[in-house]
Structure 1
Amino acid sequence: MLITFVDDLVPFDGCSAELVPLGGPEKGLIALAVGLARRGHTVRVFNRCDRSVVADGVSWRPIKECDAAYSDWLIAHRNPTLLRHVPNADRTALWMVGDATYLGNPSPLSAITDRKSVLVLQSLAQSLTVPKSLQANAAEVVVPAALDCYRTAPEMLPSTPAHAVVTTHPANGLDWLLGIWLDHVFTRIPTAELHIYSSTLERGAAGGDLPTSLRPLLARALAGRRKGVKLFRPLSDNKMSEVYRRARVHLYPSDERDLLCTTLGDSQAVGLPAVARDKGAARERLLNGQSGYLAPNAEDFADLTVRLLGEDVIFTKLCRIARTRQRKRDWDQVAADFERVLA
């Protein structure tokens, strides 16, 4: 089949992941396109890439050149108005990556209903945001997978001193988490470190632009250096896999707006236990009490963090379960699910 993806948010192509860190939606689009190509389909992507390129059997072209009239499938990524491309596609779908509430507005609603498009969602939490005006529309939840570099990572090898990893967006509960660390974790394990991977904060620490709303958070993080807080720029997936291998726990404050929790799924596949709040899609990405914990309050969040930083028995147990149960699904299976949904 001829499968066409359209996306218009950020510039990237099938080679980008080897050069720069990408967000979850971008990594997912690349992985799904490659997975479908490996299953024998002809796959093309029109997006904001700088030039035409073929990578891993997938054709990437600038969206401004999109003059395609026909495709067996048209899959709009994120933006429902992109469904107006490829007018003669046999089947159409909108692959959602965030909150679906806005789809009830007139423009996205008409774009979906006019073409009888299937909604493809990535978590049950996301499905709860679908507006009533679309609840009679065809929809499926297709759970994403971790990339192979996470799924096939070697055994955990935590480094000394013991440290926790944070990958959350600074606006999604990082200030709350920093308070937990400074007041309730470091005071009990003064040798431990908190490694925050954030391009926004790392850029701000280097003197770059930073939103005004995040300046107090950056100041607090920098002041926390004497209590083990360190800022890092996110790395490519192959290198982030090694980052997770060397840590003791992934601290994930969660947010109701975080309906993918991509990095939580990645670290779980490596085998890194997590402590998270029960918000957004966090409960769908870890096995509570088995590969990590959903902490009901700040006190428990701190206690569980301290245990995973300092107790080898519980750390090893959760690592083993994460590695055996959280790395089974791959992008070939995701591609097969899309075949079923759009058959």
Structure 2
Amino acid sequence: MHITLVDDSIPFDGYSASSRPLGGAEKAFASLPGALARLGHTVQVFNRCRWGMYIESAQWETFEGKKPLRTDVLIAFRKPALLEFVRHAGKRVFWHTGPGRLLDRPATRAMIDTHKPLLLLVAEAQARDFQAKGLAAGLLPMAVRSDYLGAEPRPQEPPRAVVTTHPAHGLDWLVDLWIGKIRPKAPDAELHIHSMMLASAMDGAEIDEALRPLAAKVKAAARHGVVVCRPQGDHLMAEALREARVHLYPGHADDMGCFTLMESQAAGCPAVIRPLGAAPERIKDGITGYASPDDDAFANLAAMLLTDRSVQQTMSAEARTAWKGRTWDGAAATLEGWLK
């Protein structure tokens, strides 16, 4: 099949995640073309990349590049208007990573009702928020890039918790909980916050006014073992996750991807989460992590994984086993079955 994927967001390509931090949704988009090409398909990708190139046997083109006259499958990423990127398409797919309710916006619904694409979802939580009304929908299997698979975890001393959440998605709450309830139970532990925005703030750069109080709080929390880290590409980020004892994930009701939570599970880092958005779908509660019912439970579970090596190692092994086969090749094979 000739498969065309199209995204209209930021500049990136299939190599980007190896050399610099990239959002989880963009990373997913960058991972699928090569996996489809390995199944024998002719794959073209159009996005805001700087120039055209072949990556993993898929042809990446600039957004303004020459479009095919027709394609067997058009996969539009996140923006419904992209369903019309190629006029003649045998099948159309709308790959949606946001809350399901956004699909019921009038303009979005009109576009979907007109083209009747396969709705490609990333979480069961999305399906609870909208009415499919006869449209076909598929849940893309969870998958991570190879950097997060295979290598052994090697938790460091002092024990380390890692957080990857967007600063506006519960980080203020987590820092307070760390200072007040987690660190007192694990007095040698460190909280490593991976955030480009906060790393820039620590270097003196201007950030959004609404986040300045949080930046000040995080800076003052250094005496409580809080460390701000600049996010890295996949190889180095995978190492950071393998060196941590626990991934603390505050979550957000609209977070349907929870992509870094998938990566930490694959790397063998147990998690403590709040049951928000799609986060509960990314762990096996009580086996590879914990979904905490309240603040006290979150703090107690986090402290336990920071201090009890036996529990942490057992959960780490279970997480790696659960995610061992969750590759993009597998996800592409599932999608291929729906497209035939």
TM-score (norm 1): 0.96
- 1:145-173, Cα deviation, whole Å (9 max, x unpaired): 01111122x22211111110000111111
SS in 1 for 2:135: coil
- Is the Cα contact below 8 Å between 1:69 and 1:88 reproduced in 2? yes
Which one of 303, 320, 327 corresponds to residue 323 of structure 1?
320
Which one of 205, 209, 212 corresponds to residue 212 of structure 1?
209
2:160 is the counterpart of 1:160: no
Identity of aligned residues (%): 41
Residue range with higher mean Cα deviation, 137-146 or 276-285: 137-146
CA distance in 1: counterparts of 2:42 and 2:75, whole angstroms: 13
What RMSD, in angstroms, separates the aligned Cα atoms of the two structures? 1.1
AA at the equivalent of 2:106: P
CA distance in 2: counterparts of 1:208 and 1:327, whole angstroms: 40
The alpha-carbon deviation at position 66 of structure 1 amounts to 4.4
AA at the equivalent of 1:138: A
The answer for the alignment partner of 1:4 in structure 2 is 4
The answer for the alignment partner of 2:65 in structure 1 is 65
- 1:130-159, Cα deviation, whole Å (9 max, x unpaired): 2x3x4321111112301111122x222111
Which one of 133, 139, 143 corresponds to residue 137 of structure 2?
139
AA at the equivalent of 2:298: F
SS in 2 for 1:195: strand
The answer for the alignment partner of 2:35 in structure 1 is 35
The answer for the alignment partner of 2:232 in structure 1 is 235
Which one of 293, 305, 308 corresponds to residue 308 of structure 1?
305
SS in 2 for 1:278: coil
User: Which 4+ runs in 1 deviate beyond 6 A?
Assistant: none
SS in 2 for 1:54: strand
The answer for the alignment partner of 2:128 in structure 1 is 128
The answer for the alignment partner of 1:149 in structure 2 is 147
- 1:86-130, Cα deviation, whole Å (9 max, x unpaired): 111100010011113222223222222222211100110111222
CA distance in 1: counterparts of 2:314 and 2:142, whole angstroms: 25
2:219 is the counterpart of 1:226: no
AA at the equivalent of 1:156: P
- Is the Cα contact below 8 Å between 1:71 and 1:89 reproduced in 2? yes
Q: How does 1:191-270 map to 2 (within 5 A)?
A: 191-270=188-267
AA at the equivalent of 1:122: V
CA distance in 1: counterparts of 2:205 and 2:134, whole angstroms: 47
CA 1:186–1:112: 2 relative to 1, 3 Å: same
- Is the Cα contact below 8 Å between 2:94 and 2:120 reproduced in 1? yes
CA distance in 2: counterparts of 1:135 and 1:177, whole angstroms: 39
The alpha-carbon deviation at position 187 of structure 1 amounts to 1.8
AA at the equivalent of 2:27: K
The alpha-carbon deviation at position 65 of structure 1 amounts to 2.2
- Is the Cα contact below 8 Å between 1:278 and 1:294 reproduced in 2? yes
Which one of 278, 283, 290 corresponds to residue 281 of structure 1?
278
- 1:25-84, Cα deviation, whole Å (9 max, x unpaired): 111112111100011001111111111111111111111224322000000011110011
2:108 is the counterpart of 1:108: yes
Structure 1 unaligned segments of length 5 or more: list them.
none
Structure 2 unaligned segments of length 5 or more: list them.
none
CA distance in 1: counterparts of 2:288 and 2:87, whole angstroms: 46
CA distance in 1: counterparts of 2:59 and 2:139, whole angstroms: 26
Q: How does 1:46-65 map to 2 (within 5 A)?
A: 46-65=46-65
SS in 2 for 1:231: strand
- Is the Cα contact below 8 Å between 1:163 and 1:247 reproduced in 2? yes
SS in 1 for 2:89: coil
- Is the Cα contact below 8 Å between 1:68 and 1:85 reproduced in 2? no
- 1:251-288, Cα deviation, whole Å (9 max, x unpaired): 00111111111011101011111100111111110110
- Is the Cα contact below 8 Å between 1:69 and 1:86 reproduced in 2? yes
- Is the Cα contact below 8 Å between 1:2 and 1:43 reproduced in 2? yes
AA at the equivalent of 2:242: R
